[in-house]
Chain A
């Protein structure tokens, strides 16, 4: 079985480093992007199997939830896991149903739960 490639899109280097370490340990290949534009480029170039996307991006240009919609438009069968800092709908300016993510992962990341969910998709 080929190594599965996971793409992490997050502006926090530490989170990327942390998740990379944790997932590489579980035998996944990881690439990362610090912003949405770069992330979408990488999806085209590297064709990852799953995307971990921070939807609480502070970026003004492309918000996390818009990014999810963009990615889904280009690659409708690519699973997206959305990272959120808190698990309340009020922390978004939109409702959870509007975000085109397959799963929501609450920070701090519970590794076991994340792995369990990932196995369901890839």
Chain B
């Protein structure tokens, strides 16, 4: 039995404990006011003791919760913990009400709240058991009071002035019918909500599988495109080197252009493959290892060295050799590769690009900065969107997918990190990437899945 609203039982337990503290304080204050200011004769000793027991019980639940927080409990174990709490709540509430006029006390209607929570949390069968037991106990106590076997503690100073015993059956009927009706209403409302939730889930799964088919298709197509393009580039090179005979300078010029456009196309396909992979949630993305930041950075710089040299751009980096990151190598390469490529691509001739990596508290801070064309303020938010390219970027470089930064952001999210960007038009851009130094525990890994889905 799954109730989607309360699927996280841990939070429900925490919430219960919080509510119970409030109830505890409320009862205590009410008792205090009644015992000192209003002169009603009630068995205060018993009442304060019940209040104290409630507080003690809640404190022990709290301690138990703290203890199990580190362990992974099954839903079954969590549910039995909840059952214990709810049963103790029923008993304490009934005790408090019994000693304060019982059916005369309007607070007996608080049992409805208990029924509500029970019906939201447990299956219909258990709800019926809880409701039946409560109704049975209420009627039982009332009958025993009527037969004078159990004493009656009146709520008014005048004792039985309101004709308690005259109306005891009506009151019992009232409270029990209210309880049964609310149990019925709430469980049918819950059924409707569950039904709608299930419909949403089916739709969501359908959508997810469609998205997966789409991503796999892109992946397949882009893979098939790379092979022929690689061959085309090889042939260009053979012609350019004159291995098939001298070519005219004009032809050479045209071949160089053809080669450059082919190269751009390959880069774009590479980005699309990366992006499709990020979306297709391959298991392999979860494979994480300890990686040296220094090695990762220098590997990625060596890949970009040629185009950087052609533009006369100087790349410097500063990273201590002992910084390591626990991450997936592909994701780290996507982040570093795309940021470096952008920095070089959108820098003017003779500019400089610098990387710095340091440890800040429990995070690794990676800064990639350039003296390039920069980004306008109103475009800053959009740069991480899929396929978005700024106006200045488009005017400088015709070719580009606009996927690079979308990939970077997804990769950073997958590694539980965050990314910041600072930029000034025509002055340069700086990206700050924070990555966790330690391995994230399992809960965080579950959270990541949601990030990717969104």
Interface residues of A in 78-117 (CB under 8 A from B): 85-91, 95, 107-109, 111
Interface residues of A in 1-39 (CB under 8 A from B): 12, 14-15, 18-19, 21-22, 25
Complex alpha-carbon distance, A85 and B223, angstroms: 8
Q: Tell whether A14 pairs with B231 under 8 Å between CB atoms, given A22-B238, A85-B223.
A: yes
Check B284 against A22 for contact (C-beta < 8 Å).
Answer: no
Which residues of chain A are within 8 angstroms of B229 by Cβ–Cβ distance?
108
Confirm or deny: B184 has a beta carbon within 8 angstroms of a beta carbon on chain A.
no
Check B230 against A89 for contact (C-beta < 8 Å).
Answer: no
Check A89 against B284 for contact (C-beta < 8 Å).
Answer: yes
Check A88 against B227 for contact (C-beta < 8 Å).
Answer: no
Confirm or deny: B270 has a beta carbon within 8 angstroms of a beta carbon on chain A.
yes
What is the minimal beta-carbon distance from A105 to any residue of chain B, in angstroms? Answer: 11
Which residues of chain B are within 8 angstroms of A90 by Cβ–Cβ distance?
277, 282, 284-285, 330
Mostly, the B contact residues are helix
Determine which of B226, B244, B285 lies in contact with A107 in the assembled complex, contact meaning CB atoms within 8 Å. Answer: B226
Complex alpha-carbon distance, A93 and B285, angstroms: 11
Q: Tell whether A85 pairs with B227 under 8 Å between CB atoms, given A22-B234, A111-B237.
A: yes
**Closest Cβ neighbor of A93 among chain B residues:** B284
Complex alpha-carbon distance, A19 and B230, angstroms: 11
Complex alpha-carbon distance, A18 and B234, angstroms: 6
Check A89 against B329 for contact (C-beta < 8 Å).
Answer: yes
Check B330 against A109 for contact (C-beta < 8 Å).
Answer: no
**Closest Cβ neighbor of A97 among chain B residues:** B289
Q: Tell whether A88 pairs with B330 under 8 Å between CB atoms, given A21-B243, A25-B243.
A: yes
Check A86 against B284 for contact (C-beta < 8 Å).
Answer: no
Which residues of chain A are within 8 angstroms of B226 by Cβ–Cβ distance?
85-86, 107
Complex alpha-carbon distance, A93 and B243, angstroms: 38
Which residues of chain A are within 8 angstroms of B237 by Cβ–Cβ distance?
18, 22, 111
Which residues of chain B are within 8 angstroms of A91 by Cβ–Cβ distance?
223, 273
> Most chain-B CB neighbours within 10 Å: which of A88, A90, A91, A111?
A90
What is the minimal beta-carbon distance from A68 to any residue of chain B, in angstroms? Answer: 19
What is the minimal beta-carbon distance from B22 to any residue of chain A, in angstroms? Answer: 51
Which residues of chain B are within 8 angstroms of A109 by Cβ–Cβ distance?
230, 234
Which residues of chain A are within 8 angstroms of B234 by Cβ–Cβ distance?
14-15, 18-19, 22, 108-109
B225-245 vs A, CB cutoff 8 Å, 1 = contact: the mask equals 011011101110110010110
Check B273 against A108 for contact (C-beta < 8 Å).
Answer: no
What is the minimal beta-carbon distance from A34 to any residue of chain B, in angstroms? Answer: 15
Determine which of A22, A95, A107 lies in contact with B287 in the assembled complex, contact meaning CB atoms within 8 Å. Answer: A95
Complex alpha-carbon distance, A108 and B233, angstroms: 7
Complex alpha-carbon distance, A25 and B285, angstroms: 41
Which residues of chain B are within 8 angstroms of A18 by Cβ–Cβ distance?
231, 234-235, 237-238
Check B270 against A86 for contact (C-beta < 8 Å).
Answer: yes
Complex alpha-carbon distance, A90 and B237, angstroms: 29
Confirm or deny: B274 has a beta carbon within 8 angstroms of a beta carbon on chain A.
yes
What is the minimal beta-carbon distance from B276 to any residue of chain A, in angstroms? Answer: 11
Which residues of chain B are within 8 angstroms of A89 by Cβ–Cβ distance?
284, 287, 329-330
Which residues of chain A are within 8 angstroms of B266 by Cβ–Cβ distance?
108
Confirm or deny: B413 has a beta carbon within 8 angstroms of a beta carbon on chain A.
no
Complex alpha-carbon distance, A19 and B234, angstroms: 8
Check A15 against B238 for contact (C-beta < 8 Å).
Answer: no
Complex alpha-carbon distance, A56 and B277, angstroms: 17
Check A22 against B243 for contact (C-beta < 8 Å).
Answer: yes
Confirm or deny: B333 has a beta carbon within 8 angstroms of a beta carbon on chain A.
yes
What is the minimal beta-carbon distance from B240 to any residue of chain A, in angstroms? Answer: 10
Complex alpha-carbon distance, A108 and B235, angstroms: 10
Complex alpha-carbon distance, A20 and B273, angstroms: 29
Which residues of chain B are within 8 angstroms of A19 by Cβ–Cβ distance?
234
**Closest Cβ neighbor of A13 among chain B residues:** B231
Which residues of chain B are within 8 angstroms of A87 by Cβ–Cβ distance?
333
What is the minimal beta-carbon distance from B300 to any residue of chain A, in angstroms? Answer: 11
Check B238 against A21 for contact (C-beta < 8 Å).
Answer: yes
> 6 pairs across A/B with beta carbons < 8 Å?
A21-B243, A85-B226, A86-B223, A89-B329, A109-B234, A111-B237
**Chain B residues engaging chain A, CB cutoff 8 angstroms:** 223, 226-227, 229-231, 233-235, 237-238, 241, 243-244, 266, 270, 273-274, 277, 282, 284-285, 287, 329-330, 333
Give the 6 A-B residue pairs with the shortest CB-CB distance, closest first.
Answer: A18-B234, A108-B230, A107-B230, A108-B233, A14-B231, A90-B284
